[in-house]
Amino acid sequence: MAEVHVIGQILGATGFSESSLFCKWGIHTASVGLLLPCTFHHVLRRHLGPLLVLGPGAAWKLLSGVREGQTQVDTPQVGDMAYWSHPIDLHFATKGLQGWPRLHLQVWSQDSFGRCQLAGYGFCHVPSSPGTHQLDCPTWRPLGSWREQLARAFVGGGPQLLHGDAIYSGADRYRLHTAAGGTVHLELGLLLRHFDRYGVEC
């Protein structure tokens, strides 16, 4: 019965070697990925096809707003920060704390030919205390073999995650070799309601 408003914006990104960046984002409330190893997903996908996972995220209901989106492509003219100022406005109702919303971000860069390639994956939790929060979300991207790195340097492209789950699940990360991307800056305002009614102090 408690409510969470997430109001804010994805300000922009710094520290990326690429210019012309844009960002895909999404807010997840199910912690499926955290708990299940990736193999599990593969097995399920292979054998059962689409499957309803009744996870802890079922506690969260999106009352209004859009869960995911994509910013425009910003090419910084001055300075190295790409500004998106992409608004985020979500209103959740929850019956529990499990699966607290988390934000996952994918930063992409667009080159002069209009091709998009991955610049970084990032993930951060939506803050749990009310008020305005300035968040910096560092990002990473899979590195790939030297061959792939070379190819990336010259013709673009490069390894991407097959399943976005790996962004926020810790299960299969050990298999990844990653390189650090830049940082995505967020400004999120949190409005919590009725948490105190259930003994959650904030």
Partner 1 sequence: MAVQDYKPWGTSPFLQLQAQIPLQSKPEANSVSRACWHSLPQLCSLHGLPSSARSIPCQTTLLKLPTAGPDEMVSEKSHLGDQQEPGHEDPNADARPLSMPTRRGPRSLPPIPSASRTGFAEFSMRERMREKLQAARSKAESALLQEIPTPRPRRLRSPSEKELETEFGTEPGGKIQTTQQEDDSQSYSRVKFRDSVRKIKSKTPVPPGFPSAEEAYNFFTFNFDPEPEESEEKPKAKNRDGANQEEGEGEEEEAPVPEGIDKTDEEVLLDDKDAVDFLLGLDRGAEDIVAVRPADYESVHIRLQKEKELLFIPSRRTVPTYKKLPENVQPRFLEDEGLYIGARLEVPRTNQNIMENRLLMQEPGRRWFGDDGRILALPNPIKPFPSRPLVLTQEQDIKAELETLYKKLQALRNAVQVSLNPAKTPKSLDTTRRAINEYKSEIRQTRKLRDIEQEKDRTLLKTIIKVWKEMKSLREFQRFTNTPLKLVLRKEKVDQKADEEAYEAEIQAEISELLEEHREEYEQRMDEYRSAHQQWKAWKKAQRTKKKKKKQGVEEHPDDEMEEPYPEEDPVKPVPPEPTNQAVIEQEVRERAAQSRRRPGEPMLVPELSLAGSVTPNDQCPRVEVLRREDVKRRSVYLKVLFNDKEVSRTNSRPLGADFRVHFGQIFNLQIVNWPESLTLQVYETVGHSGTTLLAEVFLPIPETTVVTGRAPLEEVEFSSNQHVTLDHEGVGSGVPFSFEADGSNQLTLMTSGKVSNSVSWAIGENGIPLIPPLSQQNIGFRSALKRADAISSIGTSGLTDMKKLAKWAAESKLDPNDPNNAPLMQLILVATSGESYVPDFFRLEQLQQEFNFVSDEELNRSKRFRLLRLRSQEVPEFRNYKQIPVYDREIMEKVFQDYEKRLRDRNVIETKDHIDTHRAIVAKYLQQVRESVINRFLIAKHHFLLADLIVEEEVPNISILGLRLFKLAEQKRPLRPRRKGRKKVTVQNLSDGDIKLLVNIIRAYDIPVRKPITSKFQQPPRSSRTFSEKQAASPTTHSPTHSADYPLSQVLVRPFVEVSFQRTICHTTTADGPNPSWNEELELPFRAPNGDYSTTSLQSVKDDVFINIFDEVLYDVLEDDRERASGIHTRIERHWLGCVKIPFSTIYFQAKIDGTFKIDTPPVLLGYSKERSVVAERGFDPVRSLSEGSYITLFITMEPQLVPGESVREKFDSQEDEKLLQATEKFQAECALKFPNRQCLTTVIDISGKTVFITRYLKPLNPPQELLNAYPNNPQATAELVARYVSLIPFLPDTVSFAGICDLWSTSDQFLDLLAGDEEEHAVLLCNYFLSLGKKAWLMMGNAIPEGPTAYVLTREQSHYLIWNPCSGHFYGQFDTFCPLKSVGCLIGPDNIWFNIQRHDSPLRINFDITKPKLWKSFFSRSLPYPGLSSVQPEELIYQRTDKAAAAELQDRIEKILKEKIMDWRPRHLTRWNRYCTSTLRHFLPLLERSQGEDVEDDHRAELLKQLGDYRFSGFPLHMPYSELKPLIEAVYSTGVHNIDVPNVEFALAVYIHPYPKNVLSVWIYVASLIRNR
Which of 24, 91, 133, 152 is the binder for partner 1 (CB under 8 A)?
91
Contacts of 157 (CB under 8 A, 6+ apart): 117, 151
Tell me: does residue 27 bind partner 1 (CB under 8 A): no
Tell me: does residue 37 bind partner 1 (CB under 8 A): yes
Q: How far is the CB of 163 from partner 1 (least distance, A)?
A: 16
Q: Which is nearer to partner 1, 26 or 56 (CB)?
A: 56
Q: Which is nearer to partner 1, 35 or 151 (CB)?
A: 35
Q: Which is nearer to partner 1, 44 or 143 (CB)?
A: 44
Tell me: does residue 51 bind partner 1 (CB under 8 A): yes
Q: Which is nearer to partner 1, 1 or 202 (CB)?
A: 1
46-85 in b/e form (b: 16+ CB < 10 A) is eeeeeeeeebbbebbeeeebeeeeebebbebeeeebbbbe
Tell me: does residue 188 bind partner 1 (CB under 8 A): no
Which of 15, 26, 76, 96 is the binder for partner 1 (CB under 8 A)?
96
Contact between residue 166 and residue 118 where contact means Cβ atoms under 8 Å apart: no
Tell me: does residue 47 bind partner 1 (CB under 8 A): yes
Tell me: does residue 36 bind partner 1 (CB under 8 A): yes
Q: Measuring CA to CA, which residue among 88, 85, 86 is closest to residue 65?
A: 88
Contacts of 187 (CB under 8 A, 6+ apart): 8, 9, 11, 132, 133, 134, 135
Q: Measuring CA to CA, which residue among 30, 4, 197 is closest to residue 92?
A: 4
Q: Which is nearer to partner 1, 7 or 58 (CB)?
A: 58
Which stretch, 8-16, 58-66, 75-83, 105-113, contacts partner 1 (CB under 8 A)? Answer: 58-66
Q: What is the spatial distance between Cα 202 and Cα 198, in angstroms, rounded to a whole number?
A: 11
- Helix (H) or strand (E) holding 107, with range, is strand 102-110
Tell me: does residue 191 bind partner 1 (CB under 8 A): no
Residue numbers at the binding site for partner 1 (CB under 8 A):
1-2, 32, 35-37, 40, 43-44, 47-48, 51-56, 58-59, 61-65, 91, 93-98, 174, 197-198
